[in-house]
Amino acid sequence: MKIGIVLPSVPGYSETFFTSKIRGLQANGFEVILFVNNFSKKTNLNCTIIPSPAFSKNKLGNSLLSLYILFKTLIFNFNQVQSLYKLDKKDNLSFSKCIKSIIINSHLLSQKLDWLHFGFGTMVIDRENVAEAIGAKMAVSFRGFDYYVYPIKNKDCYKCLFSKKVKYHVLSDGMKSGLINNSISPDSIVKITPAIDTKKFSSHSELKTKNNFITIARLNWIKGLDYTLEALSILHKRGVDFSYKIVGDGVEKERLKFLVHQLDLNKKVVFLGKLEHDEIKNEMEKATYYIQYSLQEGFCNAALEAQAMGLLCIVSDAEGLSENVINNETGFIVPKRKPELLASKILEAMSLEQNEKETIIKDAKTRIKTNFTIENQINQFVAFYKNN
């Protein structure tokens, strides 16, 4: 079976879920072709990678390249072009948009696939008919931002998609319910949660007593780091001794560093930047508590890794996080945008008796090893493609 996966770029250092999926499918006899917008030849993925047409800022050059791609695609893939054009016209696209669709999807029209799987919902926009045009089944994954945030600024962006025959992959029951509310049949939706390498992310060390906090996240407003810092400022004012490490980089770095300064947390908070997985594991080994106080979260691999490493997890109630952690059993869930409540929950977690902490950590580890292994995830994806 040949699977085409459409992504913005070759999976980066933090996108281990795509890397493990591709390798797992290959190990099960699937051929995987990766379609990306941006392609760097530096990759350790052993699969065919096909970039989309590369256009520049030169208008004349783009016009000539577009004409070349159009005629080449017409000559070598006429049937697919004809099919895509008819399908797009049926969706009331103008002639110019139909031609543009042929050009930007030319690298897909030349392929013979069993499945064309768009790794993010946003990747399928203006490509809703490509799978049918090449005779492939279509799958779409929703991961969080693409479902909960993007449609707020782009109303009805999935209206065309929701009218097509699609098999949907989601990360949580909450996301599945959202699709059902959009009149998608439950039979067309499959929940496959993220997974982690439970052999790599494991810890047998004794329960730590220091108040060392850590968060792994992009430095983006959606991760709620400003609320986390405000909560820790409350602890600091109450005389609680702690350290807080933030792993990750992003556009909010300068603002967050200034906030740390304003909250008088310079001696308490450290920005570690981007780290490789081995380095992240080392930092988790030193930590006692993991905080993920996001405003929106598809699921969060880092929270899974933290639980597997024996950290007490305190997370927000944002979408998938409320399924990632079982409140008061494998961690703690706090309503988002409530720094006072977060501070109170942190103090509550810190005040637990040692045996109570050990029970929560043990239950969290057991749940992760039972339900969130890469092996389970790959088996689910194999079934996803084999079961029509």
Q: What is the mean pLDDT of each run of 10 residues along the chain (388 residues)?
A: 94 75 94 88 82 85 93 96 97 95 95 97 96 98 92 94 97 93 95 92 72 96 97 97 96 97 97 92 94 94 95 95 96 97 97 95 95 94 91
Side chain identity, residue 177:
S
Q: Which residues pair with 247 in a beta bridge?
A: 216, 273
Side chain identity, residue 282:
N
Determine the Cα–Cα distance for residues 278 and 276; give it in Å rounded to an integer.
6
Sheet of 243-247: strand order equals: 269-273, 243-247, 212-216, 289-292, 312-316, 332-334
Which burial class, exposed, middle or buried, applies to 270 when counting CB atoms under 10 A from its CB (0-12, 13-18, 19+)? middle
Query: Do residues 278 and 299 touch, judged by C-beta distance below 8 A?
Result: no
What secondary structure does DSSP assign to 60-74, as a single string?
A: HHHHHHHHHHHHHHH
Query: Do residues 332 and 315 touch, judged by C-beta distance below 8 A?
Result: yes
Residues near 8 by Cβ (< 8 Å), separated by ≥ 6?
36, 37, 38, 120, 123
pLDDT at position 140:
98
pLDDT at position 205:
62
Tokens for 108, please give them: 């897909």
pLDDT at position 40:
67
Q: For the CA atoms of 29, 168, 142, 196, what is the dihedral angle to 10 degrees?
A: -40
pLDDT at position 207:
63
Determine the Cα–Cα distance for residues 296 and 317; give it in Å rounded to an integer.
9
Q: Where in the chain is the domain with CATH 3.40.50.2000?
A: 2-51+111-195+374-386, 212-371
Q: Which residues pair with 69 in a beta bridge?
A: none
Max Cα-Cα span within the chain: 74
pLDDT at position 14:
59
Determine the Cα–Cα distance for residues 2 and 5; give it in Å rounded to an integer.
10
Sign of the alpha-carbon torsion through 313, 318, 321, 322? positive
Closest CA to 313 of 338, 280, 287, 341: 287
Determine the Cα–Cα distance for residues 306 and 312; give it in Å rounded to an integer.
8
pTM: 0.90
Q: Which residues pair with 138 in a beta bridge?
A: 116
pLDDT at position 202:
84
pLDDT at position 203:
77
CATH superfamily of 212-371: Glycogen Phosphorylase B; (3.40.50.2000)
CATH superfamily of 2-51+111-195+374-386: Glycogen Phosphorylase B; (3.40.50.2000)
Tokens for 31, please give them: 């051929």
Query: Rounded to whole angstroms, what are the CA distances from 42 to 5, 8, 337?
Result: 19, 16, 40
Q: Which residues pair with 289 in a beta bridge?
A: 213, 312
Q: Is 222 helix (H, G, I), strand (E, B) or coil?
A: helix
pLDDT at position 49:
93
Give the DSSP letter of residue 211.
Answer: -
Residues near 385 by Cβ (< 8 Å), separated by ≥ 6?
1, 3, 25, 30, 114, 115, 139
Which burial class, exposed, middle or buried, applies to 144 when counting CB atoms under 10 A from its CB (0-12, 13-18, 19+)? buried
pLDDT at position 19:
86
